[in-house]
Amino acid sequence: MKENITTELSNALKNGDKERIHTLRLVLAAIKDKEIASRSSGEDSTISDDTVISLLKKMVKQRNDSIDMFKKAGRDELVQKENSEIDIISEFLPKQLGEEETVIACEEAIGATEAKSLKEIGKVIKYLKENSSPALDISLASKIIKEKLQNL
Protein backbone atom coordinates (compact mmCIF):
# COMPACT_ATOMS: atom_id res chain seq x y z
CA MET A 1 0.00 0.00 0.00
CA LYS A 2 2.87 2.37 0.80
CA GLU A 3 4.24 1.79 -2.71
CA ASN A 4 0.85 2.69 -4.17
CA ILE A 5 0.80 5.98 -2.22
CA THR A 6 4.37 6.74 -3.29
CA THR A 7 3.44 6.12 -6.93
CA GLU A 8 0.44 8.43 -6.60
CA LEU A 9 2.71 11.09 -5.08
CA SER A 10 5.09 10.92 -8.03
CA ASN A 11 2.11 11.20 -10.42
CA ALA A 12 0.85 14.24 -8.51
CA LEU A 13 4.32 15.79 -8.68
CA LYS A 14 4.38 15.28 -12.45
CA ASN A 15 0.90 16.80 -12.80
CA GLY A 16 1.62 19.70 -10.43
CA ASP A 17 -1.41 18.99 -8.21
CA LYS A 18 -0.31 20.91 -5.10
CA GLU A 19 -3.20 19.85 -2.86
CA ARG A 20 -2.71 16.16 -3.68
CA ILE A 21 1.06 16.47 -3.19
CA HIS A 22 0.57 18.04 0.25
CA THR A 23 -1.92 15.40 1.40
CA LEU A 24 0.08 12.43 0.12
CA ARG A 25 3.23 13.77 1.78
CA LEU A 26 1.30 13.97 5.06
CA VAL A 27 0.19 10.36 4.62
CA LEU A 28 3.71 9.15 3.83
CA ALA A 29 5.11 11.09 6.81
CA ALA A 30 2.56 9.43 9.11
CA ILE A 31 3.51 6.01 7.71
CA LYS A 32 7.19 6.78 8.21
CA ASP A 33 6.52 7.85 11.82
CA LYS A 34 4.70 4.57 12.44
CA GLU A 35 7.61 2.61 10.94
CA ILE A 36 10.10 4.45 13.15
CA ALA A 37 7.96 3.83 16.22
CA SER A 38 7.71 0.12 15.44
CA ARG A 39 11.44 -0.08 14.80
CA SER A 40 12.28 1.59 18.12
CA SER A 41 10.00 -0.83 19.98
CA GLY A 42 11.92 -3.78 18.53
CA GLU A 43 9.31 -4.86 15.98
CA ASP A 44 9.77 -5.26 12.23
CA SER A 45 10.47 -1.90 10.59
CA THR A 46 7.99 -2.48 7.75
CA ILE A 47 4.36 -2.08 8.68
CA SER A 48 1.51 -4.14 7.29
CA ASP A 49 -1.23 -2.92 4.98
CA ASP A 50 -3.72 -3.36 7.84
CA THR A 51 -1.66 -0.96 9.95
CA VAL A 52 -1.57 1.54 7.08
CA ILE A 53 -5.35 1.22 6.69
CA SER A 54 -5.93 1.87 10.39
CA LEU A 55 -3.57 4.85 10.16
CA LEU A 56 -5.51 6.24 7.18
CA LYS A 57 -8.81 5.74 9.02
CA LYS A 58 -7.36 7.65 11.98
CA MET A 59 -6.32 10.49 9.65
CA VAL A 60 -9.84 10.65 8.17
CA LYS A 61 -11.35 10.71 11.67
CA GLN A 62 -9.03 13.55 12.68
CA ARG A 63 -10.10 15.53 9.64
CA ASN A 64 -13.78 14.90 10.36
CA ASP A 65 -13.25 16.21 13.88
CA SER A 66 -11.53 19.28 12.45
CA ILE A 67 -14.42 19.83 10.04
CA ASP A 68 -16.85 19.90 12.96
CA MET A 69 -14.76 22.52 14.74
CA PHE A 70 -14.28 24.61 11.59
CA LYS A 71 -18.02 24.56 10.86
CA LYS A 72 -18.73 25.84 14.37
CA ALA A 73 -16.18 28.60 13.84
CA GLY A 74 -17.58 29.50 10.41
CA ARG A 75 -14.33 28.70 8.57
CA ASP A 76 -15.77 27.32 5.33
CA GLU A 77 -12.45 27.53 3.43
CA LEU A 78 -10.84 25.20 5.98
CA VAL A 79 -13.84 22.85 5.85
CA GLN A 80 -13.37 22.62 2.09
CA LYS A 81 -9.62 21.93 2.49
CA GLU A 82 -10.25 19.17 5.04
CA ASN A 83 -12.93 17.62 2.82
CA SER A 84 -10.56 17.49 -0.13
CA GLU A 85 -7.90 15.84 2.07
CA ILE A 86 -10.48 13.26 3.18
CA ASP A 87 -11.32 12.54 -0.47
CA ILE A 88 -7.65 11.96 -1.31
CA ILE A 89 -6.97 9.78 1.75
CA SER A 90 -10.17 7.78 1.18
CA GLU A 91 -8.93 6.70 -2.25
CA PHE A 92 -6.53 4.34 -0.46
CA LEU A 93 -9.07 2.90 1.99
CA PRO A 94 -11.09 -0.21 1.20
CA LYS A 95 -14.70 0.45 0.30
CA GLN A 96 -16.76 0.78 3.47
CA LEU A 97 -19.77 -1.41 4.09
CA GLY A 98 -23.10 0.22 3.42
CA GLU A 99 -25.54 1.08 6.17
CA GLU A 100 -27.62 -2.08 5.61
CA GLU A 101 -24.61 -4.39 5.96
CA THR A 102 -23.46 -2.44 9.02
CA VAL A 103 -26.89 -2.81 10.66
CA ILE A 104 -26.80 -6.56 10.02
CA ALA A 105 -23.28 -6.85 11.50
CA CYS A 106 -24.38 -4.82 14.54
CA GLU A 107 -27.43 -6.99 15.13
CA GLU A 108 -25.28 -10.12 14.91
CA ALA A 109 -22.78 -8.65 17.37
CA ILE A 110 -25.53 -7.71 19.83
CA GLY A 111 -26.91 -11.25 19.57
CA ALA A 112 -23.49 -12.87 19.94
CA THR A 113 -22.57 -10.80 23.00
CA GLU A 114 -26.10 -11.08 24.43
CA ALA A 115 -26.04 -7.35 25.23
CA LYS A 116 -29.23 -6.16 26.91
CA SER A 117 -28.47 -2.54 27.84
CA LEU A 118 -26.54 0.52 26.77
CA LYS A 119 -23.97 -0.23 29.48
CA GLU A 120 -22.72 -3.15 27.38
CA ILE A 121 -21.97 -1.10 24.25
CA GLY A 122 -18.21 -1.48 24.80
CA LYS A 123 -18.48 -5.26 24.78
CA VAL A 124 -20.41 -5.18 21.48
CA ILE A 125 -17.98 -2.77 19.80
CA LYS A 126 -15.01 -4.86 20.96
CA TYR A 127 -16.66 -7.94 19.46
CA LEU A 128 -17.21 -6.09 16.18
CA LYS A 129 -13.61 -4.90 16.00
CA GLU A 130 -12.32 -8.43 16.56
CA ASN A 131 -14.75 -10.30 14.33
CA SER A 132 -15.62 -8.00 11.42
CA SER A 133 -13.90 -6.92 8.25
CA PRO A 134 -11.82 -3.75 8.04
CA ALA A 135 -14.49 -2.38 5.69
CA LEU A 136 -16.81 -1.86 8.66
CA ASP A 137 -17.14 1.78 9.71
CA ILE A 138 -16.88 1.55 13.50
CA SER A 139 -18.22 5.06 14.11
CA LEU A 140 -21.38 4.27 12.13
CA ALA A 141 -21.62 0.91 13.86
CA SER A 142 -21.32 2.60 17.24
CA LYS A 143 -24.27 4.89 16.47
CA ILE A 144 -26.37 1.95 15.27
CA ILE A 145 -25.51 -0.17 18.33
CA LYS A 146 -26.35 2.71 20.66
CA GLU A 147 -29.72 3.18 18.96
CA LYS A 148 -30.52 -0.55 19.05
CA LEU A 149 -29.52 -0.98 22.69
CA GLN A 150 -31.60 2.01 23.75
CA ASN A 151 -34.64 0.40 22.12
CA LEU A 152 -34.25 -2.94 23.93
The domains found in the chain, sorted by start residue, are: 2-90 (1.10.1510.10), 99-150 (1.10.10)
Q: What angle do CA 41, 49, 45 make, to 5 degrees?
A: 25
Could you list the pLDDT tens digit for every one of the 152 residues in the chain?
889 999 999 999 999 999 999 999 999 999 999 888 888 877 666 788 888 888 998 999 899 999 999 999 999 999 999 999 999 998 988 887 788 888 888 888 888 888 888 888 888 888 888 888 777 888 888 888 888 888 77
CA 16 to chain centre: 27
Nearest one of 33, 22, 28 to 7, comparing CA atoms: 28
CB 125 within 8 A of CB 145: yes
Residue from 114, 136, 134 nearest 124 by CA: 114
Q: Quick one: which H or E segment has residue 144?
A: helix 138-150
- Written as one letter, the residue type at 124 is V
CA dihedral (99, 100, 105, 111) positive or negative: positive
Amino acid present at 51: T
What is the rounded CA–CA span in Å between residue 78 and residue 66? 9
Amino acid present at 61: K
At 5 the pLDDT is: 92
